[in-house]
Amino acid sequence: MSETKPDPAPVAVVTGASSGIGAATAKVLAAQGFTVLLGARRADRLAQVAADIGGSARTAPLDVTDADSIEGFAAQAGETVEVLIANAGGALGADAVVDGDDNQWRTMWETNVLGVVRTVRAFLPKLLASGHGRVVVISSVAGHQVYPGGGGYTSAKHAAAAVIDTLRLELLGAPIRIIEIAPGAVRTEFALVRLGDQEKADAVYDGLTPLTADDVADAIGWAISRPPNVAVARIDLFPRNQASARDRHRE
Ligand code: NAP
């Protein structure tokens, strides 16, 4: 009697999986039955996330500001990928536009805009080959609204949001869904990376209960698991006491 092999688990790829939203999303996807491939620059942190997940979680080095690094990362994924979470990103500094540092702006644009574009390009053939692709880009409320001191980050995330909407138009009719997740304040390493100082980072959340990375991962898990005829175009996810990029009620 011939044995039928079970179908291999579908593959989900997460960029920026070494901390915060990416790490939490990797756990949700693994729990949904995906084999996860996780990328970021900090190999030790990635390895810890994979160890926490256990099983078949795999890691590979990734710097989304480097086209060759993205190609090398994509080559680790095999022929088909069902879900791509383009999450790697972040902010640097909080200067007014006139005082901004070109290098910080360049890094924000390279990471949040070109990083997403190149990642999607690299994985698109594999996503289409799955016949059931989902691309999730983590933009931000900063992709749709602006605030003083946020020019470098908001301009980059606005560009990312424009790319996401363009992809949805250009891929209309292809077996793929383009999903934008636009969170407000989430307590991760984001503010520490941005401000470079733990005290200043903690002050961002003074009097406010922000979202957790798990809250955002939960929304992502929901969005990618809708039936194939349902496309979640965008989720704006705020803490209860946040009403816009700049309006927060602090208790
Ligand atoms: P986080 O804890 O700082 O995580 C950022 C992740 O991105 C890390 O895994 C980091 O890994 C990775 N990353 C940064 N630059 C990278 C690069 N050049 N190549 C590869 N990976 C890179 O912050 P987070 O809040 O989870 O951020 C995740 C996403 O959510 C970002 O796109 C951020 O803009 C967005 N977001 C955050 C908030 C918030 O309030 N936290 C709100 C809205 C949107 P390595 O450093 O190890 O490379």
154 lines ligand 1 (CB under 6 A): no
Find the 212 Cα to ligand 1 centroid distance in Å. Answer: 14
Q: Can you tell me which atom of ligand 1 is nearest the CA of 42?
A: 47
Measured over all CA atoms, what is the biggest interatomic distance in the chain, rounded to whole angstroms? 74
Mean pLDDT of the chain: 97
Q: Among candidates 29, 74, 66, 26, which has minimal Cα distance to 46?
A: 26
Catalytic residue among 34, 73, 153, 238: 153
- Cα angle 174-176-177, degrees, rounded to a multiple of 5: 125
* C-alpha–C-alpha distance, residues 122 and 28, integer Å: 24
Would you place residue 2 in the very low, low, confident or very high pLDDT band (cuts 50, 70, 90)?
Answer: low
Active site residue 147: no
How many percent of the chain have pLDDT more than 70? 99
For residue 236, the model assigns a pLDDT of 98
Pair of tokens at residue 154: 């908001």
What's the sign of the alpha-carbon dihedral 127, 188, 181, 162?
negative
User: In what side-by-side order are the strands of the sheet with 83-86?
Assistant: 58-61, 35-40, 11-15, 83-86, 133-138, 176-183, 234-237
Arithmetic mean of pLDDT, 104-112: 98
**What single letter denotes the amino acid at residue 197?**
D
Q: What is the mean pLDDT of residues 84-102?
A: 98
pLDDT higher than threshold 70 for residue 1: no
Distance 173 CA to ligand 1 centre (A): 31
Q: Is 144 in the pocket of ligand 1 (CB under 6 A)?
A: no
Instruction: Give CA–CA dist 181/168, Å, rounded.
Output: 14
Average pLDDT over residues 73-85: 97
**What's the rounded mean pLDDT across residues 161-183?**
98
Is a pLDDT exceeding 90 seen at residue 19? yes
- CA 109 – CA 164 distance, rounded (Å): 15
Q: Residue 237 is inside which H or E element, if any?
A: strand 234-237
Report yes or no: 94 and 25 within 8 Å, Cβ to Cβ: no
Beta carbon of 119 within 6 Å of any ligand 1 atom: no
Token pair for residue 135?
């691309």
| Contact by Cβ (8 Å): 23, 213 | yes
For the CA atoms of 56, 60, 64, 67, the dihedral, rounded to the nearest 10 degrees, stands at -120
Question: Looking at ligand 1, which residue's alpha carbon is closest to its atom 15?
Answer: 89
